[in-house]
Chain A
Amino acid sequence: MDALIVVFLTGLICMFIAMAKKPVYVLITAVVGLMLAIGLLLSQWFNPPLFQLNYEGLEFTKIGILFSSLALLFTFLIIIGGYSYFKKEVEHTGEYISLLLFSSVGAVCMIAFTDLFMFFLGLEILSIPIYVMVGSSKKDLLSAEASLKYFFTGAFSTGILLFGIAWVYGATGSFQLKEIEVAISEGSASGPLLSIGILMIMSASLFKVSAAPFHFWSPDVYQGSPNAVTGYMASVIKLVGMFAFLKLFTVTFGDMYSLWSGALYGLIVLTMFIGNLSAIGQTKFKRLMAYSSIAHAGYALIAIMSQEPGSDWNLWNYMFSYGFSILTLITISIVLDDKEDEFSSYKGIGRKNPFIGFMLVLSLFSLAALPPMAGFFGKFMVFSSAFNDYPMLVIFAIINSGIGVYYYLTFVIAALSKPEDDSLVPVLKPSILQYIVLVICAIALLTAGFFVV
C-alpha cells in the first residue's frame, strides 16, 4: 500500500518537476521514487506495511510482492532505458514518465486486488495511460493508428469484462473474491450466469495478455508505439495480466476449473500456433516481438492450466525471464532508434558492436529457451508442471518452441552476420543508463535460472 502511494506521489512530483524543463530531475525523481517503492515492497516481505487501512481491497501476499516489485523494476528499467526517448521532447518528459508511473500504480493494484473493484480499476489505471503513451509520438501516423486500435479494442474488451463481472455478480451476489470463491464452492452459484460470466472475464483477461483470438491488437500496437512503450506493454502489462489471470482463475474460479480449463486448452494451442506461425517471415523487429509475445503468452498460460501447486512461482519465473529478454531487445532497439524498424537495419549490428551482439544473442536465445539463459528454466518449469495432466499440450508447446527458434535465429543471423558494406553499419553508442539496463538484464538472464531454490 505504501509503495502504491509512493509511486503515485512520485508520478505527481514528476509532473511538477518537469516544469523546470530539466528532464534529468524528472528522471532522478522517478528513479528514487521507484527504488523507494521497490524497497518498501520488499520490506513487506519481512515486516507488516507502514500503512494499514481498514479497507481490504488490496492484499500483498508474498508472491504478490514479488510480482509487483518485478513490475516496478521493469517500469524502472523502461524509464531509464527509454530515457533517451523521453527526453527528446523536453516539455513532455514529465508527462511521459508520470504516465508510466501512474500505469504502474494500476499494475500494483491489479496484482494485489482482493475484489473486483480493484481489479477493474487497476486494469483501467494500467491501460488508460498506455492508450495515451502509445500515441505519444504525435507526429507519427503509425503511432496514432496504434493508439486508436489499442484504445478501441481495449475499451471493447473492458465492456466484455464488465459484462462478465456483472453476470458473475448476478450469480454470486458479491464482488469480493473470497465470497465469490465460497459461493462457487458451495455450489450455490453454479449455472449459466456464472459460467458465461467467467468465460467473459476470461476473454477480457486473454485480451490483456494478448492470447488468441483476442490478440489482434498486439502486433499493430507494438509496432506502432514508441519503443519504450512497447517494452512496457510487453513486460509489465503482460506480467500483470498474467498474474491477475492466475489469481482470478486458479484461486477464485478454481472450482470452475473444469469449465475454463477446456476452453483455455484450445485457446493456448491456438495462441501458440498463431503467434509462432505469424512470426515467421516478419521483417519488422517489433512486430516480430509482438508475435513472439503472443506465443509466449501461450506458453505462460500453460502455467495457469497446470493444477500443480506452485504454478504461481513457475509463472513468476517465466515472466521474469521473458520480461528481461524483452527489455534487452527493446533497449537495443531504443539504442538503434530506427524509425523503419526493419530487420535490414539490424544487419551486422551485433558484429560491429560486440556487446550489443552478445546481448542480442542472450535475449533471443533466452526467448527461444536455449539454456543456460533464464528463458529455458522458465519454460522448463512451466512445461514440467503441466506435463502430468496435459502431456499433449506440452508436446504442442515443444513443437512450437521448435518453430519459434526459427525466427529468432533468422534475426540472430541477420544481426550477427558480416554485412556486405561494413561502413553502413552504425557504431552504436548506448548511454550509461542503457548500459546499466543491459548489464542488469544480462545478469538476470544468465544467472536467474540457477537460483530458483
Chain B
Amino acid sequence: MSVDQLILAILALPLLGAFFNGVFGKNLPNVLVGSIATGVMFLSFALAVIVFGSQSEEKIVHLFSLITTKDFSLNARIQVDALSMWMTLIVTGIGALIHLFSMGYMKKDAGYYKFFTYLNLFIFAMLILILGSNYFMLFFGWEGVGICSYLLIGFHYSDVQKGMLNGIAARKAFIMNRIGDLGLLIGLFLILDQFGTLEYSELSAAMLIEANQPTVWVLFTITMCLFIGATGKSAQIPLFTWLPDAMAGPTPVSALIHAATMVTAGIFLVVRSNFFFELAPMTQEIMLYIGLVTSLVAAFIALRQNDIKKVLAYSTVSQLGLMFVALGMGAYTAVIFHVTTHAFFKALLFLGSGSVIHAMSDEQDIRKMGGLKKFIPITHLTFLIGTLAIAGFPFLSGFYSKDEILAHAIMHSSIIYTFLMLSVALTAVYMFRLYFLVFHGNFRGSEETKNHLHESPWNMTIPLLVLAVLSIFGGILNLPGIVFHSCKQWLSHYLNYNTDGLNLVETEHLSNYDSILLMSAAVALTLIILLVSFFYYVKKGKLAKEDSSWKGWEIASGNKLYFDEIYNFLFVKPIEWLAKSSYQFMEIMVLNKSISGLVGAISRSGLIVRKWQSGIIANYLFWMVLGIIGLVVYYLLKF
C-alpha cells in the first residue's frame, strides 16, 4: 500500500469503527464493541507507525474539493509531514491505550457502545485536525473534537442526580470553545482575505517573500485571532474554566481528550502557524504572559482542590500554560516534546485516577481516600511514576521536557524563569499532596467502599503500565545531549523542518554546564518538595482540611479564585439579563406593542367613524349637505 492509502486508512479506521459501533453496537456484546473500537485504534496506530517509518518528506494527499469558487477553494487534503505524523502517533497511540482502558472502565455502563462510538469519532476528528493540510481542515477537525468533547463530557446525561449538571458542564465546555472558535474563524477569514488560500504550504511559502507579508498590524490581528482560538481549546485564561468542569465526563475521556490530545490542539495550531507567529512578536509576548499567568493561577488553584480529577485538570491547565510560555518564546520543538511527555504522564495520571475511582466505587473526593497503596498496588505504582514525572523527578520524561522549557526561559528572561520555577514547584506541591493523600495514611472512606476495594482488571492495568514505561523513558526522545550525544535532540531535529518557521530563529542551546546547573536546581527543588510533602502528609499524617477551616489563600485557592463567579457576574448574568429584558422590553413592549398599538388605533378610529353612522335620516342628510358645502367651499378656495 502506498502512503496515500495508508494515511487514508489511518483516518478511515476510526470512522469505520465509529460507524460500525454506532449502527450495530447496540445489539452486540460489549466485548465485541470494545474490541472493535480498540482494534481499529491499534491498527490505526500500527499504520501510523509504518507511515512514520517510511515517510521522510512532506507529502500532500488530495482527497476531494469541498468548495471551489472563483476566489479560492477549500479542499479536503491531508498533509503528511513530521509534525502531523508525530501528533498522529501520539493521538493514535495514547488513544489506543485509553480505548483499551475504557473497555474495563466502562464495562458496566449502559451506553457502552455509544461511548466507543464517540471515542472513535473523536479520534477521527482529531486526526483531521492534525492531518489536514490547511486551516480549513483544521477548523473542521477543531469543531469536530469540540462536539465529541461535548458528547463525552455530558456522557452521563441521564444520571438521576448529576445528569443535568453533566450537561451544563458539557455545554460550558462547548460554548467556551465556540468563543475561541469564533476567534479562530475570524483569523481564518483574515488569512483568506490576505492570502487567498488556507494551505499551510502555500502560506508559509508566501510568508517567506517579504513582499507578500502583510503589515504588522494585520499579522498581529491574525495571530491574535488564532491565539484566541487556541486559548479556547487549550484552556488558557480567559477561557480556561471549562476544563475543570469537563471532568464531569468519564475518566478515560478526561485522560484522552482533556489531558493528552484535544487540549493540545491549541498548541498544535500555534506550532503549525509558526510562520505567522514568528513575525508577530507582540502576539508572542502576549501569549507568553497569558501562558505564565494561566500556569500560575491553575497551579495555585490546584493546591486546595479535593476532587482527584479536578486537581489533575488544573494541573493540565497549568502545564498547558507552561507550553504557551514556551510557544511565546518560540521554542516550538520543546513544546512538542512537552506535549508528548505530557500526553504520557497526564494520560497515565488520569487513567490512574480512573483506576482509583473505579476501585473506590466512583468516589472522587480525596478526603475520603487514603492508604490505597495496599489495595491497588499496580495503580499505586504507576500513579507514583506519573506523579514523579510531572513533578520533574530526575530522568523521568517530564524532567527533560520541562527542563528544556526552563532552559529557554532563562535565555529569554530570568524573571520568567523565576515564575516558571514557581509554577513547577507548585506543581510538585499539589501533585505530592494528591499522591500522599490518596495512597498513604489510613483509609477514610466508608466501610462499604472499603470492602469493594480491588485492583482493576488487566485491560485497565496494561495501559497503565505501558504509559508508565513511556513516562519513564519518554525523555529519550529528546535528550539534551549531555548523556548520549548520538541521539541528542532527536525530536527537535526530526521536527525541525516543520517548526523552524522562516529560518529566522536559530534554535540556541545552552551549554552543557548551564544545563546541568539548571537541572540540578530543578531537581533540588523537586526533591525538597517531595521530602517536605512526605514528612507533612505521611509522617505527621496531616489530612486535607475541611472547606470551613480554610484560611487566607486557601479560601481563594479552594474557590478557584472565584473565576466562575466573576464570569457569571460579568458575562452570564448580563447576557441572561439581556435575553430576558430584550424579550420583555424590545419584543413585547416595543415591537409587539407597536403593532398592536397600530391595530388598536385603527380599530378605535373605526369605532369613531362608526359613531357617525347614527341611523337617523336627518343626520345623513345633514352630512350630505355638509359634503356639498365642502365641495363649494373647495371651489371657492381653489378657484
Contact = CB atoms under 8 A, between A and B. Distances in A.
Interface stretch (A83-91, A119-127, A147-155): A147-155
A262 B623 CA distance: 20
A139 to B, nearest CB: 21
B603 A281 contact: yes
Contacts of B624: 153, 156-157, 160, 203, 207, 213-214, 216
Interface string B599-622: 100110111011011010101110
Nearest to A212: B627
B605 A199 contact: no
Contact of A149 (B620, B623, B632, B638): B620
B617 A274 contact: no
Contacts of A214: 623-624, 627
A160 B625 CA distance: 10
B621 A156 contact: yes
A262 B634 contact: yes
Interface string A170-201: 00000000000000000000001001100110
A277 B602 contact: yes
A199 B607 contact: no
A217 B634 CA distance: 24
Contact of A203 (B612, B617, B619, B628): B628
B187 to A, nearest CB: 48
B623 A152 contact: no
A278 interface: yes
A326 B444 CA distance: 90
A216 B623 contact: yes
Nearest to A211: B627
Interface string B291-310: 00000000000000000000
Residue of B599, B610, B627 with highest tally of chain A CB at under 10 A? B627
A281 B610 contact: yes
A288 to B, nearest CB: 12
Interface string B628-639: 101110110011
A152 B627 contact: no
Could you say which interface size class chain A belongs to?
35 or more
Contacts, number: 82
Given A278-B606, A403-B602, A153 B631 contact: no
A153 B635 contact: no
Given A213-B627, A214-B627, A280-B602, A196 B617 contact: no
A295 to B, nearest CB: 12
B623 A213 contact: yes
A157 B627 CA distance: 12
Nearest to B636: A192
A278 B613 contact: yes
A274 B620 contact: no
Contacts of A281: 603, 606-607, 610
Given A216-B613, A281-B610, A202 B621 contact: no
Interface in B556-612: 599, 602-603, 605-607, 609-610, 612
Contacts of B531: none
A148 B615 CA distance: 12
A334 B383 CA distance: 93
A213 B638 CA distance: 20
A263 interface: yes
Could you say which interface size class chain B belongs to?
20 to 34
Contacts of B607: 281
A277 B606 contact: yes
A203 B632 CA distance: 11
A153 B639 contact: no
Given A149-B620, A153-B617, A219-B613, A277 B605 contact: yes
Contacts of A274: 609
Contacts of A273: 609
Given A153-B620, A278-B613, A195 B639 contact: yes
Contacts of B638: 262
B639 A263 contact: no
Interface string A204-239: 001100001110110110000000000000000000
A50 interface: no
A199 B626 CA distance: 13
A251 to B, nearest CB: 21
A203 B620 contact: no
A266 B631 CA distance: 10
A259 interface: yes
Contacts of A213: 623-624, 626-627, 630
B617 A280 contact: no
Nearest to B621: A156
A396 to B, nearest CB: 14
A101 B459 CA distance: 103
Interface in A251-303: 259, 262-263, 266, 273-274, 277-281
A368 to B, nearest CB: 16
Contact of B609 (A192, A262, A277): A277
B69 to A, nearest CB: 38
Contact of A216 (B620, B628, B631): B620
Interface in B518-537: none
Contact of A202 (B603, B605, B609, B631): B631
A203 B606 contact: no
A214 B628 CA distance: 9
A148 B617 contact: yes
A270 B92 CA distance: 80
Contacts of A217: 620
A202 B624 CA distance: 12
Contacts of B606: 277-281
Interface in B310-356: none
Contacts of A152: 617, 621
B42 to A, nearest CB: 64
A205 B178 CA distance: 71
Contacts of B634: 199, 262-263, 266
B596 to A, nearest CB: 13
A417 B308 CA distance: 64
Contacts of B609: 273-274, 277-278
Interface of A: 148-149, 152-153, 156-157, 160, 192, 195-196, 199-200, 202-203, 206-207, 212-214, 216-217, 219-220, 259, 262-263, 266, 273-274, 277-281, 403, 406
Given A203-B631, A217-B620, 19 more contacts: A149-B620, A152-B621, A156-B621, A156-B624, A157-B624, A160-B624, A195-B635, A199-B631, A199-B634, A202-B631, A203-B627, A213-B627, A213-B630, A214-B624, A220-B615, A259-B635, A274-B609, A280-B603, A406-B599
9 contacts: A152-B621, A195-B639, A196-B632, A202-B631, A206-B627, A213-B623, A213-B626, A213-B627, A216-B612
- Per CB-CB distance, the 3 closest pairs between chain A and chain B, nearest first, are A216-B620, A213-B627, A277-B606
Interface of B: 599, 602-603, 605-607, 609-610, 612-613, 615, 617, 619-621, 623-624, 626-628, 630-632, 634-635, 638-639
